[in-house]
Chain A
């Protein structure tokens, strides 16, 4: 082929490559700017601290206190994290350290399948299995809300949706520990469990924390599965059996009517912006920590 033609094709190819990479990499900024632009009318008329910490949510009267939603979001994702931690940590240790080869393979397949299941299916499972269970607990605890659609149900469902994601990262972390480290500890006379507890876990502790941070931010953004089981009542939940209303659920439920009430769309876009900023911050630092381990080992 003629050289100058080849050269022009290469130029074309290069610009295609650069344009597509730039589109993807600049996406968070584009999203952020567009959401900020939309939420601006509300931000100039009300101080931001009042929007975040006020519990007064009356869109028709122009009161947009987001605190009930923010609080629900925090409680649901922390609860999900608490439930998820023992399961992911235990099975990551079991799969990488103790399990015979074939069992480990089967378990990894299970995690892969779980990771592929769509959020809406987890939500359905929550309605069929978790909500009746929680409802029974709530009845025996004499709770005001015995329907089962509650913060606790949402926490359990969110724990399951984020579990495969976190577990995969933990497995990778455990596998990144050099073999020699384990072998030398074993040679010193430590049992397998002592090695794990005192050497391996200590070695990768910040990595484990980072993996859980990623799980937390994933739980924070989980929408449909949570929306289906959380009850969607605007209130500050007073117990784990009370219904809540997390930020993503607020967005998903109200986008249809947000154009009809003034500034309503601003409030919704502001909540999307908050989700975006929190998730990006969490993920950025968590990935930095995880990177550090990957480069070291």
Chain B
């Protein structure tokens, strides 16, 4: 009996390990597949030039318009999201400080919001733009993505603020500071690591999201010069080029996928390094 118990445990352990290794294998297969297909098409020309005439028939040019467009979009959207998220997160921790029930409700609703599919945001934004008579533009896409990523941003700042000692808030309050001042003066410094990781998380989401910008950003072969112009984004460039029947154009879709993957990886490494560095002036 006793030996059987441990035999079962050994077998179970091996089965669990096999399933777990499979997940690692999937990640490797994603990288391998994309690099194998796209590496031959990836060269300096593709990264450094905008599409020229006949690009979509396999002639020269590159995807610089999509790279720059994506970066503009992600940075702009993350900045707008910051302007909304920082005060909202501070409100939960200052003015709602003595209402734990409401804090819980707000958190629950934010978590629910996070699950709304991007395509629904896209449809809503498209409706709104039609209603206002706005053409598809970089600004419209930025606002859409900003609304999409704000709930995640607020929640991740909120999580990092929850580790703060309650004493900090109470002692500052007893010294006569206003609640908002405590938020922006004291909690801000405390939540800097949280804000940094939230920003980078949002940046990654903004770069990768396709469904919400499909309706709003439009597509163009040029690098946008103002936020009222339409813009190309990397995921859309991948998506459109892939549907082309010409093999050279298809290969470039994979090259664009490599560029996107590398940018996302760099951001995720950066967020790890920075969140470690910023956590040093924390009051436990």
A interface residues, Cβ below 8 angstroms from B: 6-7, 10, 13-14, 16-18, 20-21, 23-25, 27-28, 30-31, 34-35, 38, 86-87, 90-91, 93-95, 98-99, 107, 110-114, 116-125, 127-129, 160, 163, 167, 191-194, 214, 217-218, 220-224, 228, 248, 251-252, 255, 268-269, 272, 275-276, 279-280, 282-284, 287-288, 291
**Which chain A residues border B12 with CB–CB below 8 Å?**
193
Binds A, one of B40-48, B165-173, B254-262: B254-262
- Which listed residue, A18, A110, A121, A287, touches B91 by the CB 8 Å rule? A18
**Which chain B residues border A13 with CB–CB below 8 Å?**
87, 178, 180-181, 183-184
B208 proximal to A (CB < 8 A): yes
**Which chain B residues border A24 with CB–CB below 8 Å?**
84, 88, 110, 113, 147, 150-151, 154
**Which chain B residues border A167 with CB–CB below 8 Å?**
23
B112 touches A90 (CB 8 A): no
B111 touches A252 (CB 8 A): no
A223 touches B29 (CB 8 A): no
- Which listed residue, B109, B183, B211, touches A223 by the CB 8 Å rule? B211
What is the CB-to-nearest-CB distance from A264 to chain B, in angstroms, rounded to a whole number?
13
Given A23-B84, A110-B24, A117-B264, does the pair A129, B33 have CB atoms closer than 8 Å? yes
* Complex alpha-carbon distance, A223 and B236, angstroms: 13
| Chain B residue nearest in CB terms to A251 | B119
A121 touches B5 (CB 8 A): no
Contacts A24-B88, A118-B264, A248-B117 given; 9 further ones with Cβ under 8 A?
A: A13-B183, A31-B120, A90-B19, A116-B208, A118-B208, A193-B12, A217-B115, A223-B117, A287-B111
What is the CB-to-nearest-CB distance from B240 to chain A, in angstroms, rounded to a whole number?
11
B9 touches A191 (CB 8 A): yes
| Chain B residue nearest in CB terms to A129 | B33
**Which chain B residues border A90 with CB–CB below 8 Å?**
15-16, 19-20
* Complex alpha-carbon distance, A175 and B197, angstroms: 22
B16 touches A98 (CB 8 A): yes
B65 proximal to A (CB < 8 A): no
What is the CB-to-nearest-CB distance from A113 to chain B, in angstroms, rounded to a whole number?
6
Between A and B, 25 residue pairs with Cβ closer than 8 Å are A6-B181, A14-B180, A17-B94, A24-B88, A24-B113, A28-B112, A28-B116, A86-B19, A87-B23, A90-B15, A94-B17, A98-B13, A110-B23, A116-B267, A121-B208, A124-B33, A124-B34, A127-B242, A129-B33, A217-B115, A218-B115, A251-B123, A255-B126, A276-B117, A291-B104
A116 touches B108 (CB 8 A): no
4 smallest CB-CB distances across A and B, nearest first, come from A221-B117, A118-B208, A90-B19, A13-B180
B253 proximal to A (CB < 8 A): yes
What is the CB-to-nearest-CB distance from B67 to chain A, in angstroms, rounded to a whole number?
14
A252 touches B119 (CB 8 A): yes
| Chain B residue nearest in CB terms to A156 | B26
From residue 137 to 165 of chain B, which have CB atoms closer than 8 A to chain A?
147, 150-151, 154
Given A16-B87, A251-B119, A291-B108, does the pair A191, B19 have CB atoms closer than 8 Å? no
A255 touches B214 (CB 8 A): yes
What is the CB-to-nearest-CB distance from B136 to chain A, in angstroms, rounded to a whole number?
11
- Which listed residue, B37, B95, B121, B235, touches A31 by the CB 8 Å rule? B121
| Chain B residue nearest in CB terms to A255 | B215
Given A21-B106, A110-B23, A291-B108, does the pair A224, B235 have CB atoms closer than 8 Å? yes
Given A224-B211, A255-B126, A280-B116, does the pair A107, B24 have CB atoms closer than 8 Å? yes
B211 touches A252 (CB 8 A): yes
- Which listed residue, A20, A95, A252, A280, touches B112 by the CB 8 Å rule? A280
A124 touches B254 (CB 8 A): yes
B8 touches A191 (CB 8 A): yes
Given A24-B110, A117-B208, does the pair A269, B127 have CB atoms closer than 8 Å? yes
**Which chain B residues border A110 with CB–CB below 8 Å?**
23-24, 27
A21 touches B88 (CB 8 A): yes
Among B29, B94, B119: residue with most chain A CB under 10 A: B119
* Complex alpha-carbon distance, A232 and B151, angstroms: 32
From residue 70 to 112 of chain B, which have CB atoms closer than 8 A to chain A?
83-85, 87-88, 90-92, 94-95, 104, 106, 108-112
From residue 15 to 59 of chain B, which have CB atoms closer than 8 A to chain A?
15-17, 19-20, 22-24, 26-27, 29-30, 33-34, 37
**Which chain A residues border B207 with CB–CB below 8 Å?**
118
- Which listed residue, B27, B83, B95, touches A20 by the CB 8 Å rule? B83
A268 touches B113 (CB 8 A): no
A25 touches B109 (CB 8 A): yes
What is the CB-to-nearest-CB distance from A68 to chain B, in angstroms, rounded to a whole number?
18
* Complex alpha-carbon distance, A123 and B121, angstroms: 20
B239 proximal to A (CB < 8 A): yes
B95 touches A14 (CB 8 A): yes
B134 proximal to A (CB < 8 A): no
B186 proximal to A (CB < 8 A): no
What is the CB-to-nearest-CB distance from A228 to chain B, in angstroms, rounded to a whole number?
8
B204 proximal to A (CB < 8 A): yes
- Which listed residue, B94, B120, B154, touches A272 by the CB 8 Å rule? B120
